[in-house]
Amino acid sequence: MRNLYLSNRFFYLFGSATVLFVLGYAVPVIYPVAIGFFCLAAILTLVDLTLLFGKKISVTAERKLPALLSLSDENKVVLNLKNQSPHPLRLTVVDELPVQFQVRDFERALALNAGEQHSLAYELRPLTRGEYSFGVANIFAETKLGLVQRRFQSAQPMEVPVFPSVLQMKHYELLAFNRVTATDGLRKIRRIGHSYEFDQIKNYVLGDDYRSINWKATSRQGNLMVNQYEDERSQQVYCLIDKSRSMKMPFNGLSLLDYAINTSLAISNIALKKYDKAGLITFSDKIGSTIKADRKANQLNKILHALYNEKERPLEANYELLYHIARKLINGRSLIMLYTNFESMYALERVLPHLRRINTFHLLVVIFFENTEIQDFVREEAKTVEGIYTQTMAQNYLAEKSAIAHVLRQHGIQTILTRPEDLSMNTVNKYLELKSRNMI
């Protein structure tokens, strides 16, 4: 019986019988009690084995997974369990999770009556992209006696890919197109003037801008008619992602590159929904993925799969190469969202000439990150001279980050300095702001 396991209750029972045998040698009157106790334990064990290893005893499990898991989000996994036995069982479920989670103690306990079904749900938060392999579900069943356990293996091994956060993409899409978003972090941007992309002539209704009245159409129809305008469409929106070693820094288990990847997917989706063209360029010491801006039906899927395959590189980013590829690939004035990270003013000064040249031909938004761990450290009270010195250095570091943002803005470059966890929200806000101001 290779699927037979002895429970703690079994060892406790027979351990007690052994103790009674030992005492029986010293106190003979206890010896018959020890024999009786041992026989009772053996009979109970045989009864338990008979109940648990009968032909009609069966427990099955079926694992239900999404077609793909979403990076950095809580993904729901469901195990549908069924007790096909004629009597109730207590179950301990040990699901073999992918090695990426490094979970060694996953188990769930429940009880099922005869013929009862139950859906056991739990959530997983993957922090790296790639293929995740689930093993079998091990189900350890026992009767009410609980002396032995029988292992059932069910739920076949399966693989599922972890893609950039599709859940986050859908979340920000809803917020971006929802009029009531102030409480969720997205700002309602007041439109400055209006676009001159003509849409149609329609009847005037209360609330329409009287400056849009079309007097010629009004005279022909005998009713007030107004010109209706729409947001300018088919603007090019490119996400440029730095995947050099400066983007390997982790925050809350997720690297800066993965934060940028999740946000790029969300921005690309919103841009396409607003009838703009979305494109992608990744770079480090060499150019990675390049997807020319378009708004075809499969454009988002192309961007999603390109982002899925991106990996950090342990080298410095080549901004001169980025400038040349941007000049070659990006035709016409476009909105460029550059995700990178500057840790010092020296790092900025090395690449600033290239950023200014890109900004000459396009509307460049440089997005880089605050170090939230240093911010938390600065808030702590310093109690020693060494602590005061360390906090002073940390404050200088944070001040230099703000100075970097100030220098970029001085050169006319749109800038976002953000906490990693606020990246998507702040980037979507900036895109909507630039659209409302007709800057793209």
| Burial label, 345 (beta-carbon count in 10 A; 0-12, 13-18, 19+) | middle
Check if the beta carbon of residue 434 is closer than 8 Å to that of residue 189: no
Q: Are residues 277 and 392 located together in one domain of the fold?
A: yes
Check if the beta carbon of residue 203 is closer than 8 Å to that of residue 224: yes
Q: Which domain holds residue 13?
A: 4-52
pLDDT of residue 180: 43
Q: What CATH code is carried by the domain that includes residue 350?
A: 3.40.50.410
| 201 CB-near residues (< 8 Å, 6+ apart) | 214, 217, 225, 226, 227, 228
Q: Are residues 272 and 383 located together in one domain of the fold?
A: yes
Residue-wise pLDDT for 70-95, tens only, equals 999 999 999 999 999 998 999 999 99
Residues of the chain with pLDDT under 70: 1, 179-199, 207, 229-233
Q: What CATH code is carried by the domain that includes residue 85?
A: 2.60.40.10
| Total-model pTM | 0.81
User: Which of 180, 212, 230 is a domain's end point?
Assistant: 230
DSSP 93-120: EEE---GGG--S---EEEEE-TT-EEEE
pLDDT of residue 375: 84
**How many domains is the chain built from?**
4
Number of H helices, E strands in the chain: 11, 21
Q: Are residues 274 and 182 located together in one domain of the fold?
A: yes
Check if the beta carbon of residue 90 is closer than 8 Å to that of residue 142: yes
Residue-wise pLDDT for 205-240, tens only, equals 776 777 788 888 888 888 888 887 655 567 899 999
Does 195 map to a domain? no
Q: Using alpha carbons only, give the angle 182, 183, 189 rounded to the nearest 5 degrees.
A: 10
Check if the beta carbon of residue 277 is closer than 8 Å to that of residue 377: no
Q: Using alpha carbons only, give the angle 238, 239, 243 rounded to the nearest 5 degrees.
A: 145
